[in-house]
Homo-oligomer: A and B are copies of this chain.
Amino acid sequence: MTRPRPTIHDVAREAGASIATVSRALNGGVVSAAARERIEAAIGRLGYRRNDVARGLVTGRSGLVGVVLPDLIGPLYAHMARGIEDVLDEHGMHAMLVTDHLEPDAERRAIELLRARQVDGLVLIGSRLQPADLRAAAGSVPIAHVQRDGPDDEAPQVRLDDAAGVRAAVEHLAAAGHRRIAHLAGTRRDGIERREAFVAAMAEAGLEPGPIVDGGFTEEGGEAAAAVVLDDPDVTAVFCASDRMAVGLLHAAQRRGITVPDDLSVVGFDDLTWARYLCPPLTTVRQPGREMGRAAARLVLDGPFDAAVPVLRIAPTLVVRASTAAPRSHGPAAPSQRRHEPATEEVIAPEIPPPP
């Protein structure tokens, strides 16, 4: 059972053909019916499987796209990976996933490793490498970014339309009657974009932005930042730049006896798997990870359709659950919003403004 695996030579001998003919049979080239039959029989008898590594060496294509992502645990990244696999599958290609845990050094190593394995392309999720370092590590391998964290480079990228998501959230809150809305912000590039979009959306709604506090995107950060926000008695709603911070906020509020949404409305961002399971179920901006992954994979395989527009924006949707309601000063909210009924949710796709 542990005898050396059969090679194309073994098949050729067994079938009474040359290896060139076997190779053609394997790759759908022109081969007489008789030869094909003998070869297939030999393959079956020997249990032969082509060595794709050797094949890749001569064809110069590995059929592999390298994916470097922060981790596999965050459901958002996993969804993106799934989207990438969707389109690679259609092309008979496969993904090789390497995690970098948000460390630039690990990111560089991951890229070099992938390059040494001759990947045909690279999808980088949340890359923070500087353009020069990136190019040095990746050489001439084509790249597509998803939600790149570092400054733009020449590679095409797909990003969430963060501003549209923020606008939908703020409009939802403003329409419910909230006037003083706080923001828990994150420090990455998309956090900054969301923060700026928050200020802009508030202005559009004719409102002053409430307190803006950095929560670093994490539960703990959200919990710490919550203190500042909850001390402001005029704040009736908080828009968080991530679901993880929203959880921290929810805990902090509960500890202080502040009831959501009666005393405070909370909106998250991402719609992670568990957002619907929170107490109360969280109103949040859903990030379509799988679609973003699909778009990136297409970008890396086909290149951008229009090199002049290297950023492809994907539209998020607002998912309205039970963590938002009218502020107390407006009287009790409708009964349907008082119940924490996870089954009830409403999805709002924000209007995407036409590209400038």
Chain A residues packing against B (C-beta within 8 Å): 1-3, 5, 47, 49-54, 56-57, 62, 71-73, 75, 78-79, 81-82, 85, 94-99, 112-113, 115-118, 135-136, 139-140, 247, 251, 273-274, 277-279, 340, 342-343
Residue from B47, B62, B94, B95 within 8 A of A136 (CB atoms): B47
Question: Chain B nearest CB: distance from A332 CB in Å?
Answer: 21
Q: Is the CB of B140 within 8 A of A2?
A: yes
Q: How far is the CA of A342 from the CA of B136 in the complex (A)?
A: 47
Contacts of A81 in B (CB 8 A): 72
Q: Is the CB of A340 within 8 A of B139?
A: no
Q: How far is the CA of A113 from the CA of B93 in the complex (A)?
A: 10
Contacts of A49 in B (CB 8 A): 112, 115-116, 139
Residue from B1, B53, B139 within 8 A of A117 (CB atoms): B53
Q: Is the CB of B136 within 8 A of A113?
A: no
Q: How far is the CA of A112 from the CA of B49 in the complex (A)?
A: 8
Question: Chain B nearest CB: distance from A298 CB in Å?
Answer: 20
Q: Is the CB of A51 within 8 A of B85?
A: no
Q: How far is the CA of A47 from the CA of B47 in the complex (A)?
A: 41
8 A–B pairs (Cβ distance < 8 Å), ordered by A = A51-B118, A53-B62, A72-B81, A75-B75, A94-B98, A273-B274, A277-B278, A279-B279
Q: How far is the CA of A99 from the CA of B52 in the complex (A)?
A: 19
Q: How far is the CA of A187 from the CA of B332 in the complex (A)?
A: 46
Question: Chain B nearest CB: distance from A138 CB in Å?
Answer: 10
With A53-B117, A54-B57, A72-B78 already in contact, the answer to whether A342 and B251 are too (CB < 8 A) is: yes
Contacts of A343 in B (CB 8 A): 251
With A79-B73, A279-B279 already in contact, the answer to whether A53 and B57 are too (CB < 8 A) is: yes
Question: Chain B nearest CB: distance from A178 CB in Å?
Answer: 24
Contacts of A79 in B (CB 8 A): 73
Q: Is the CB of A82 within 8 A of B78?
A: no
Question: Chain B nearest CB: distance from A2 CB in Å?
Answer: 5
Q: Is the CB of A139 within 8 A of B47?
A: yes
